[in-house]
Amino acid sequence: MKNIFLTFALVFTCTYAFSQSEEELKSQLGSKKDSISDIQSRLDAIQGKIDALAGWKKGAFGTIGANLSSFNNWYAQGSPNNSTGNIGITVNGFANLNQEKFFWRNAGNVNLGWVKFDDKDLATDDDSFRQAADVFTISSLYGHKLNEKFAISGLGEYRTTILDNFNDPGYLDVGVGATWTPIADLVVVIHPLNYNFVFSSNDVVFQSSLGAKILADYTRKIGMVNFKTNFSMFQSYENGDLSNYTWINSLGYTIWNGIGLGLEFGLRNNKQEALNFALNNNPTATFENVDNDLQTYFLFGLNYSF
């Protein structure tokens, strides 16, 4: 009986001691996390001052996503013998010049993708990769500073595809107005005088027009994370059907030696493109009856930061 009592006492003492030790460790961990958060805040403040210094700032990061597979005699599926593939590549780059009286910001985004599905039992089935994603955008913004946060600015932005139907359509926005830079990494452009040049072999659907340009870009590197979000909108003064917007978000997390994980997703609304696509199947489609669904894409894969 005495041995049993001593055993229970020993177990209780060890349990209490372990619990107390665990609580103490958790308490210490919480205080360390608070310290790390304070240090990171100070580092971010210093980095913000560095970003605001005069001179060139350049950088780039990109994501590669790939998925390849092959099946032979896999009878549980409709095509037991097939090979499939999905490859995607995105690149985001920038080169920004900041001086006392002016700034010059240049940026580019490329997203290319290929897919294939080859049913080996069909002799006529295509076994090659087909183009799936095709996005190309470059922009150049010049601003003459009125003060630290506001500038008179001019913007040129070009958007098209490069793998399929290059510059058909292609969009070139050229305009002037004002730029607001509330913090070092955020740029908001408002140009009430902007002309949207549209280049296309189909002049009936794609039309150029005068309107307003709004662009917001936030590019930031925090520790091991690269982040970029870019929203670009054109609002036509002549016809709302000629308006469009594109919003692209890119995130890269570096794990080792510049290599990590990346995610990019984009949204676009463009009624001219919707009508041009609908006319392939319905010759009677018009701006009034076309389904202008939201265009989306995303890519997840390995990321590399330059």
Q: Is residue 30's pLDDT more than 70?
A: no
**What's the CA gap between 167 and 134, in Å, rounded?**
12
3-state SS class at 15: helix
**What's the CA gap between 176 and 154, in Å, rounded?**
4
- If residue 28 lies in a helix (H) or strand (E), which one and from where to where? helix 2-51
Per the structure, the complete domain to which residue 253 belongs is given by 58-305
Scan for tokens 């676009």, then name that residue. Answer: 268
pLDDT, position 40: 57
Same domain for 103 and 207: yes
Binned at pLDDT 50, 70 and 90, residue 16 comes out as low
Residue 111: how many other CB atoms lie within 10 Å: 22
Binned at pLDDT 50, 70 and 90, residue 10 comes out as low
Same domain for 141 and 16: no
Binned at pLDDT 50, 70 and 90, residue 215 comes out as very high
Same domain for 103 and 13: no
Last residue of a domain, one of 51, 69, 84: 51
Average pLDDT, the chain: 85
223 to 69, 244, 245, 306: CA distances (angstroms): 35, 35, 31, 14
Q: Identify which has the larger pLDDT, 84 or 68.
A: 84
Same domain for 122 and 26: no
Same domain for 64 and 163: yes
Mean pLDDT lowest for which of 28-32, 44-48, 218-222?
44-48
Residues 85 and 68 sit within 8 Å (Cβ to Cβ): yes
Same domain for 186 and 92: yes
3-state SS class at 7: helix
Residues 209 and 237 sit within 8 Å (Cβ to Cβ): yes
Last residue of a domain, one of 30, 51, 72: 51
Same domain for 166 and 259: yes
Same domain for 63 and 196: yes
Q: Is residue 299's pLDDT more than 80?
A: yes
pLDDT, position 105: 95
pLDDT, position 60: 85
pLDDT, position 41: 61
Domain of 249, CATH number, reads: 2.40.230
**What's the CA gap between 201 and 167, in Å, rounded?**
9
pLDDT, position 51: 58
Task: For residue range 242-293, list pLDDT tens digits in order.
Answer: 999 999 999 998 888 888 988 899 999 999 999 998 988 888 888 988 988 9
Q: Which two tokens stand for residue 272?
A: 């001219």
Same domain for 11 and 148: no
Task: Give the DSSP per-residue string, 151-163.
Answer: EEEEEEEEEE-SS
Same domain for 99 and 7: no
Cis preceding-peptide flag for 283 (omega within 30 of 0)? no
Task: For residue range 226-243, list pLDDT tens digits in order.
Answer: 889 999 999 999 999 999
Predicted structure pTM score: 0.77
Same domain for 24 and 91: no
The domain tally of the chain equals 2
Same domain for 47 and 63: no
